[in-house]
């Protein structure tokens, strides 16, 4: 990504030698000796045109040199074009960025609506770590889209329909422990569900009988039988109440909670429409859609609608209700194949919205500590409590002088933030192993490190205020390399958010925030601010601008900025 300033210049320069030239070959550099941005496009061009790359790069220089914002344009080595931004322009741009609530982020989503389908746990089961990851990633995706001007509908597509309910009803009638249910409804429902699985596993006798009964109960529920509907509602309500405590704790809200049950009644009509429109065909008692050499089943032989049929009903509902430009589905990567086929069917069915599946890897728990009999199932509330308790121990040790209430507040922000950040920081597709030490480390790419960096900026600004200094952003100038390095990092932050949006990759925002905090810390350690003599006003302005951007970056990641740590 390059700043908006350079794009038109680069386009013009490219056009002067080749109208098809690739502006995106202009990239940020990490070594200031190579300028702030470098273009190696001359090499490719030169080859095609059988020209000397250096000579070609030299011809491009005048397109940049002397333009507002460009400090210096020069050719290096065999044909690199190095661009240095003008320091006055850079300082002015940062001040403007600080005044903009969206920190200069291009409003690419203005007038557009995105639906983020995330969290989506399955009723009567505990939310597992996969749903936690979906919750974190989906929440941050929503925040990122909003920052870029999108209207966002966060939709919790809970699994609240289908065969599990027939099984649960049968298990409820046979084996429920009412006291256990009253104490921990979801725990008891989960136990019943697992128990049903065990008892019905037998391929003969009682096992068959149970399976048949479950099928009947599911059918009754789907026909609207009052008792089964009441039980279903009760299970659903109890589960949502438990999820809600987790969401509240994590500051996550949904615009809509429409689970699979909302679409259950629509699937027959959808299948009929697919058949009538020639998208689907009957095949051996089932209804399928042919996709090249693949087949997607929308209705099974036994008449049951598939997961794909539900998602097709859902997509049609969303298109009619919201006309979204984009829909992002956040689930674990094992559902990738489902989404690829479903998207292909949707495209065949003329769904015009951009459909994106963000599939993420597994979060593995450290052995023993938090896993139950089912391995990956934990109570998320307990996990958050443990994170906060661990954070509290660190706060007590490091910040003993703060009062009780503030320490509790810090521990909550650090603990919950650490759990959340570990889900964001890795590239979504990689598997991650839960690691308390890394998550809560004060150094390295962790939530505590980011929060601490901000607290440090806030503390410096407090000290300045106490000493009677009033920050004046107009005083910002960039002279020292460390000031400039921080400035460039800030300039690049919105570029990183744009890339993250394009790639549906919140980890790019995490990475940019980490680099921003690192640059701020290097500036803070190496340069005196309040005792900086003639640089005081400018460095105070830089701190102020950096503080504002770090606060926004933290919020974008769903973290709670702290004034003190």
Binding site for ligand ARG (CB under 6 A): 117, 120, 122, 157, 159, 311, 314, 329, 331
C-alpha dist (Å) from residue 461 to 441, 456, 539: 25, 9, 11
Instruction: Find the shortest distance in angstroms from Cβ 521 to ligand ARG.
Output: 39
Instruction: Find the shortest distance in angstroms from Cβ 130 to ligand ARG.
Output: 7
* Closer residue to ligand ARG (CB): 43 or 307: 307
* Closer residue to ligand ARG (CB): 131 or 535: 131
Beta strands 281-283; 151-155: pairing state? unpaired
For residue 305, what is the DSSP state? B
C-alpha dist (Å) from residue 106 to 68, 322, 355: 20, 23, 22
Tokens standing for 252? 């996550």
Instruction: Find the shortest distance in angstroms from Cβ 334 to ligand ARG.
Output: 9
* Closer residue to ligand ARG (CB): 331 or 507: 331
State how far the Cα of 177 lies from the Cα of 191, in Å rounded to an integer.
10
Instruction: Find the shortest distance in angstroms from Cβ 357 to ligand ARG.
Output: 9
* Closer residue to ligand ARG (CB): 189 or 391: 189
Distance of CA 84 to the CA centre of its chain: 33
* Closer residue to ligand ARG (CB): 239 or 445: 239
C-alpha dist (Å) from residue 410 to 199, 338, 383, 392: 48, 41, 17, 8
State how far the Cα of 100 lies from the Cα of 102, in Å rounded to an integer.
5
Instruction: Find the shortest distance in angstroms from Cβ 301 to ligand ARG.
Output: 23
Instruction: Find the shortest distance in angstroms from Cβ 123 to ligand ARG.
Output: 9
* Closer residue to ligand ARG (CB): 117 or 547: 117
336-348 and 307-322 are packed helices; what angle lies between their axes, rounded to 10 degrees? 50
Tokens standing for 86? 């003008």
Instruction: Find the shortest distance in angstroms from Cβ 380 to ligand ARG.
Output: 14
* Closer residue to ligand ARG (CB): 134 or 446: 134
State how far the Cα of 188 lies from the Cα of 191, in Å rounded to an integer.
5
Instruction: Find the shortest distance in angstroms from Cβ 117 to ligand ARG.
Output: 5
Among the listed residues 269, 256, 236, the one whose alpha carbon sits nearest the alpha carbon of residue 116: 256
State how far the Cα of 206 lies from the Cα of 196, in Å rounded to an integer.
11
Instruction: Find the shortest distance in angstroms from Cβ 37 to ligand ARG.
Output: 40
Tokens standing for 439? 């998550």
* Closer residue to ligand ARG (CB): 354 or 526: 354
State how far the Cα of 20 lies from the Cα of 182, in Å rounded to an integer.
68
Instruction: Find the shortest distance in angstroms from Cβ 327 to ligand ARG.
Output: 9
* Closer residue to ligand ARG (CB): 307 or 469: 307
* Closer residue to ligand ARG (CB): 117 or 495: 117
Q: Which residues contact 168 (CB under 8 A, 6 or more apart)?
A: 124, 189, 192, 193, 196, 231, 235
The residues that bridge with 295 in the sheet, in sequence order, are 290
Question: Is the CB of residue 167 less than 8 Å from the CB of residue 193?
Answer: yes
Tokens standing for 244? 């809600």
Q: Which residues contact 96 (CB under 8 A, 6 or more apart)?
A: 104
């Amino acid at each position: 990504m390059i700043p908006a300033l350079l794009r038109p210049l680069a386009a013009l320069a490219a056009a002067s030698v080749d109208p098809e030239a690739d502006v995106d070959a202009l990239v940020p550099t990490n070594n200031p000796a190579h300028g702030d941005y470098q273009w190696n496009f001359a090499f490719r061009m030169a080859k095609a045109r059988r020209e000397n790359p250096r000579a070609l790069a030299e011809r491009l220089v005048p397109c940049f040199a002397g333009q507002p914002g460009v400090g210096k344009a020069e050719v290096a080595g065999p044909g690199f074009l190095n661009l240095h931004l003008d320091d006055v322009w850079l300082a002015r741009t940062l001040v403007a960025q600080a005044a903009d609530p969206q920190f200069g982020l291009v409003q690419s989503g203005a007038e557009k609506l995105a639906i983020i389908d995330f969290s989506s746990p399955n009723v009567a089961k505990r939310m597992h770590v996969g749903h936690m990851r979906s919750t974190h990633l989906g929440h941050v995706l929503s925040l990122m889209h909003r920052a870029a001007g999108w209207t966002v509908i966060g939709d919790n597509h809970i699994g609240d329909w289908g065969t599990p309910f027939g099984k649960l009803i049968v298990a409820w009638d046979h084996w429920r422990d009412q006291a256990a249910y009253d104490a921990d409804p979801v725990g008891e429902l989960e136990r019943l569900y697992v128990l049903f699985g065990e008892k019905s596993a037998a391929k003969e006798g009682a096992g068959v009988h149970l399976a048949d009964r479950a099928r009947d109960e599911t059918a009754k529920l789907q026909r609207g039988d009052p008792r089964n509907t009441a039980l279903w509602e009760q299970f659903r309500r109890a589960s949502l109440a438990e999820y809600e405590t987790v969401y509240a704790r994590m500051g996550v809200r949904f615009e809509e909670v429409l689970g699979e049950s909302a679409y259950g009644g629509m699937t027959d009509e959808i299948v009929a429409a697919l058949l009538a429109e020639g998208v689907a065909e009957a095949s051996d008692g089932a209804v399928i859609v042919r996709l090249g050499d693949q087949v997607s089943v929308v209705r099974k032989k036994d008449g049951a609608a598939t997961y794909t049929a539900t998602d097709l009903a859902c997509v049609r509902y969303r298109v009619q209700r919201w006309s979204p430009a984009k829909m992002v589905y956040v689930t674990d990567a094992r559902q990738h194949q489902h989404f690829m086929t479903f998207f292909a069917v949707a495209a065949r069915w003329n769904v015009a919205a951009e459909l994106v599946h963000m599939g993420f890897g597994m979060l593995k728990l450290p052995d023993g500590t938090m896993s139950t009999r089912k391995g990956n199932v934990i109570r998320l509330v307990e996990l958050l409590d443990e994170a906060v308790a661990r954070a509290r121990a660190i706060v007590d040790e490091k910040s003993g002088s703060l009062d009780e209430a503030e320490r509790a507040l810090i521990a909550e922000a650090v603990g919950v933030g650490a759990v959340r950040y570990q889900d964001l920081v890795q590239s979504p597709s990689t598997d991650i192993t839960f690691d308390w030490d890394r998550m809560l480390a004060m150094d390295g790419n962790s939530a505590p490190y980011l929060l601490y960096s901000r607290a440090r900026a806030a503390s410096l600004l407090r000290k300045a205020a106490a000493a009677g200094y009033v920050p004046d952003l107009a005083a910002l100038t960039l002279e020292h390399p460390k000031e400039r390095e921080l400035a460039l990092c800030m300039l690049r932050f919105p570029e990183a958010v744009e890339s993250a949006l394009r790639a549906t990759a919140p980890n790019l925002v995490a990475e940019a925030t980490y680099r921003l905090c690192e640059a701020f810390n290097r500036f803070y350690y190496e340069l005196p601010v309040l005792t900086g003599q003639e640089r005081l006003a400018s460095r105070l302005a830089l701190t102020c601008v950096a503080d504002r951007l770090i606060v926004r970056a933290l919020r974008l990641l769903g973290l709670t900025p702290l004034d003190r740590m």
